[in-house]
């Protein structure tokens, strides 16, 4: 991160590509890096950013190949996405930072947290993993191998997309490659054993999530040596989309506790 003539911080080129700030909060004591689900974009966290500002500054990740990054090459592995996010967020580590990821974003947040802790680095203040079970348990649903319409239909069954996409061939052709690339990253991810994370962790899940049963989400407790909490909300895999106020309150409560320690 650089500074301009007034002394205000400005993100690096990588930060401008990967990081979105919907509600800048220069006086916030804590930042929260939010990583979207497969096929998702930074705008998925606009509502959470609004809930947490100005006490917490939300940094929402924008993956390549979507919205204003639609002309960039897609990355179809968790490792490539992890490395891109970690490089982009490095200039923002001048304040305590927590990570929040949903579904694919949960695994990605976990891997970024591991990378930040490597070689004596400063661990995140907190890790929030949402809508994803035990990372060592691979995802076998080959959504990326379905044709466009079947893939979007499968996502609609989870409540995660707009079936209007099926009626608009141009929109379908535009969004399908990014969704397919993300689900290939999810399917090919293999967890590598390593040290436990030293930061507190909160796992969140919908009580009717077919992709992430509560008992599997609870297994995240085995990946941290610090405090672990499991929070169950009403809803399915995309419970988050209409419960940002409740989730925001929970996140703020956890981060306030981390700051007080």
To which residue do tokens 């080129």 refer? 13
Range of the domain at 29: 2-137+193-260
Residue 11's pLDDT is: 55
Residue 258's pLDDT is: 75
Long-range interactions of 189-193: CB distance < 8 A, separation 24+: 189/77, 189/78, 189/107, 189/135, 189/138, 189/139, 190/138, 191/135, 191/136
Residue 103 a catalytic site member? yes
**Domain CATH for 51:** 3.40.50.1820
Residue 232's pLDDT is: 97
Point out which residues pair with 127 in neighbouring strands: 99, 201
Q: Is residue 121 part of a domain?
A: yes
Give the confidence band of 99 by pLDDT, cuts at 50, 70, 90. Answer: very high
Residue 5's pLDDT is: 39
To which residue do tokens 């929040």 refer? 100
To which residue do tokens 């099926």 refer? 166
Q: Is residue 45 part of a domain?
A: yes
How many structural domains compose the chain?
Answer: 1
Burial 214-245 (b: 16+ CB within 10 A, else e): eebbbebeebbeeebebeebebbbbbbeebbe
Dihedral pair phi/psi, residue 187, rounded to 5°: -70, -30
The end-to-end CA distance of the chain, in Å, is 27
Give the confidence band of 114 by pLDDT, cuts at 50, 70, 90. Answer: very high
Q: Is residue 51 part of a domain?
A: yes
Q: What is the tens place of the pLDDT at every residue in 213-242?
A: 999 999 999 999 999 999 999 999 889 988
Q: Is residue 171 part of a domain?
A: no
Catalytic residue among 103, 126, 130, 181: 103
CB 43 within 8 A of CB 76: no
CB 125 within 8 A of CB 49: no
Q: Is residue 164 part of a domain?
A: no
Q: Is residue 9 part of a domain?
A: yes
Residue 161's pLDDT is: 57
Spatial CB neighbours of 170, under 8 Å, sequence gap ≥ 6: none
Q: What is the tens place of the pLDDT at every residue in 160-202?
A: 555 555 566 776 777 888 888 998 999 999 999 999 999 999 9
Residue 136's pLDDT is: 93
Q: Is residue 57 part of a domain?
A: yes
Residue 237 a catalytic site member? yes
| pTM attached to this predicted model | 0.90
Q: Is residue 81 part of a domain?
A: yes
């Amino acid at each position: 991160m650089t500074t301009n003539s007034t002394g205000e911080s400005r993100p690096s080129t990588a930060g401008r590509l990967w990081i979105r700030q919907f509600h800048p909060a220069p006086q916030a004591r804590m930042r929260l890096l939010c990583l979207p689900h497969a096929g998702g974009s930074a705008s998925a966290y606009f509502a959470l950013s609004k809930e947490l500002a100005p006490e917490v500054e939300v940094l929402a990740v924008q993956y390549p190949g979507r919205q204003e990054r639609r002309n960039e090459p897609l990355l179809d592995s968790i490792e490539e996405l992890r490395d891109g996010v970690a490089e982009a967020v490095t200039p923002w580590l001048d304040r305590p930072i927590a990570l929040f990821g949903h579904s694919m974003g949960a695994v990605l947040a976990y891997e970024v947290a591991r990378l930040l802790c490597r070689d004596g680095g400063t661990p995140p203040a907190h890790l929030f993993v949402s809508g994803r079970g035990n990372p060592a348990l691979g995802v076998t649903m080959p959504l990326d191998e379905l044709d466009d319409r079947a893939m979007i239909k499968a996502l609609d069954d989870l409540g995660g997309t707009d079936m209007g996409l099926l009626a608009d061939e141009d929109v379908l052709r535009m969004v399908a490659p990014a969704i397919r690339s993300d689900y290939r990253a999810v399917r090919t991810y293999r967890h590598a054993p390593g040290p436990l994370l030293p930061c507190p962790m909160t796992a969140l899940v919908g009580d009717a999530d077919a992709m992430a049963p509560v008992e599997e989400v609870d297994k995240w407790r085995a990946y941290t040596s610090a405090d672990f909490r499991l929070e169950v909300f009403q809803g399915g895999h995309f419970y988050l989309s209409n419960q940002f106020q409740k989730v925001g309150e929970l996140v703020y409560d956890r981060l306030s506790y981390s700051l007080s320690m």
